[in-house]
Structure 1
Amino acid sequence: MILTFTPSPSLDRAYDVAELAVGEVNRASGTHVHAGGKGINVSRALARNGVATVAVLPTGGPDGEQLLVALERQGVSSRPVPVAGDTRSNVTLVDQDGVTTKINAPSPELSTDEIRALVEAVDAEAARGARWIVAAGSLPDGSGDLFSRLVEVSRRRGVPLALDTSGAPLRDTLATGGIALVKPNDDELAELVGADLHTVGDVRDAARELIAAGTGAVLVSLGAHGAMLVTPDGSWWAGGTALVPLSTVGAGDTTLAGYLSTDGSPSDRLRRAVAWGRAAVLLPGSDVPDPTRIDIADVRVVDDPDPRLTLKEL
């Protein structure tokens, strides 16, 4: 079982428009409502592909209730922790070229008691035999060291933790050490190391800085240019033929789900991760692919890619 934790869940409403006209009335040709939040997206993708998962999340208000109904309909087991604030709703606009405009509402602030209840819920679920703990998404205001407290749960229970966040929560949690896997995109990785990343070698070297500081492995999303995996033992790149995306919302979360879904060699896990992510961008809103949409054979993996290649050449 893979346990996911989403501190800032949302009810995601996506609208398809022919062309987004700022300041004008835009009429949608399609609407999509999904349970949202990075960890939740990971659980949704895993459940769609028959991998046991449970999602721990704070919920409150009518949208929180609707979010739980959506998870149940999608076959995702959840452990909700009631909170005083209302679960947020996010809005996504996607035009016919796949260009995505996202408006994320602020998450309700969590009280000290609510944070403690969330950590206890993760600890209890981890004790039931989790293979991974996934801590993913933004932290609500006032949450402080919430992710670092989950690292402590990971150590105590002997369950590896994968982290997918950004900004100060990413930097501060990495400083605690002991994280098995971190999944930044190239911009987030550049911000972490304080350097521009133009080449494969730049990405590899930046990832190795994180590994030298105590992180087990780094899975770097490169958007349309695939993904790189860097471990203490090597580096790999994976990608495929060019795609015209329908929506990129949640694709990185689906990529992480693919990587964690089964064991295997680094190259096999990276190939699966990229195949899952590529399938996700061909779906509307933040929908996740089922096995019939995932094309492993369309993904190419390169062991120890040429460090001189620019990311745009991949």
Structure 2
Amino acid sequence: MIITLTANPSLDRTITLEGPLLAGEVQAAASEREDAGGKGINVTRVVSAAGIASRAVLPLAIDDPFDTALRAARVETVRIEIAGRARSNVTIADPAGVTTKLNLPGATLTEAEASAIVDAVVRESAGAHWLVLAGSLPPGAGDDFYVRVIDAVRGTQGTDAPLIAVDTSGAALTAVVERGAPDLIKPNDEELADLVGAPIDGAEDGLAQRVLEAARALVPARVRAALVTLGAQGAVLITADGAWAATPPKIRVRSTVGAGDSSLAGYLLAESEGADPAERLSRSIRYGAAAASLPGTQAPAPENLPAGDVTVTRLE
């Protein structure tokens, strides 16, 4: 079982343009779609599509229109009632796959609502293999909310606590790395640079090695492993035992929204099957590429995985 927490769910509206985005101009849209979004929900959708049990924990008001899209996603959920409503995020994608995102802040949580979410995660994660804490935090939660969840889960379950993966950014990610000791983090190269306090040259040549050098400031001293996604340039996996880099197969990019979430889900699926680090990274790459080849925030299924080669290289 893989449990996910989405503290700040969103109704994701994706608008596909007929040409490149032109700021200040009136443009025709080719299509639009709406999906129940949020990083944890996206991970649960991908994991469930692969036939592995997963349950998504999220705050949701009884009368929230988000519920309609969530039911259409057909995932198992645990809903904690709150007063506010889920935010809306708008993604504008052009035919080349270039995306522009507008993200709203989300409903403000009361202390009672935040505590109820923590209690639900502790309850639902009992006996799970992985707990995934994913996405931004809503107003009122506090930058250390994920640390609070981790402490509650481990404090209650002790050595039986699940492995914990965190996919967030900014102050929330900094707090987790400083105080949460997660088993896995999934930053991109910019988020990793923020964590270590030093820029990472984004030039393709030698990028994987530079990412490894930066990540060694965190792994394994503060986190057990880091899966660093690099978009079209692939990803790097760093553990206490080694590091690996992989490049994705060629695909036609439709939308990059949710690709990182699918990459994390692919890694968790492979790890749950006992795969070695190289295979975990390869599966992560394939799932991320599959998501990028689909419109909107669609969850790729195993049949959507690209057939092209994924080259995995061990780094020194």
TM-score, normalisation: structure 2: 0.91
Q: Secondary structure at the match of 1:224?
A: helix
Q: Secondary structure at the match of 2:122?
A: helix
Residue in 2 that maps onto 1:267: 278
Residue in 2 that maps onto 1:312: none
Code of the aligned partner of 2:209: G
Residue in 1 that maps onto 2:197: 194
Residues 109 and 140 in structure 2, CA contact (< 8 A), matched pair in contact too: yes
What does residue range 1-314 of structure 1 map to in structure 2 within 5 Å? Answer: 1-19=1-19, 20-60=21-61, 62=63, 64=64, 66-127=65-126, 129-144=127-142, 145-156=144-155, 157=157, 158-198=161-201, 199-261=207-269, 262=272, 263-295=274-306, 298-304=309-315
Shift of 1:139: 0.9
CA deviation map 1:267-291 (0-9, x unaligned):
1111111100001100001112111
Residue in 1 that maps onto 2:204: none
Residues 249 and 306 in structure 2, CA contact (< 8 A), matched pair in contact too: no
Code of the aligned partner of 2:92: L
Shift of 1:295: 3.1
Residues 47 and 75 in structure 1, CA contact (< 8 A), matched pair in contact too: no
Code of the aligned partner of 2:33: H
Q: Secondary structure at the match of 1:284?
A: coil
Residues 151 and 180 in structure 2, CA contact (< 8 A), matched pair in contact too: no
Q: How many residues align?
A: 302
Q: 1:44 to 1:67 in 2, by over 3 A?
A: farther
Identity %: 45
Residues 61 and 85 in structure 1, CA contact (< 8 A), matched pair in contact too: no
Structure 2 unaligned spans of 5+ = 202-206
Superposed CA RMSD: 1.6
Residues 218 and 230 in structure 1, CA contact (< 8 A), matched pair in contact too: yes
CA deviation map 1:94-147 (0-9, x unaligned):
1111110111111111000000000011011011x2111100111112212210
Shift of 1:61: 6.5
TM-score, normalisation: structure 1: 0.92
Shift of 1:71: 3.0
Code of the aligned partner of 1:6: T
CA–CA distance in structure 2, aligned partners of residues 130 and 67 of structure 1? 27
Structure 1 unaligned spans of 5+ = 306-314
Shift of 1:68: 3.0
CA–CA distance in structure 1, aligned partners of residues 216 and 249 of structure 2? 28
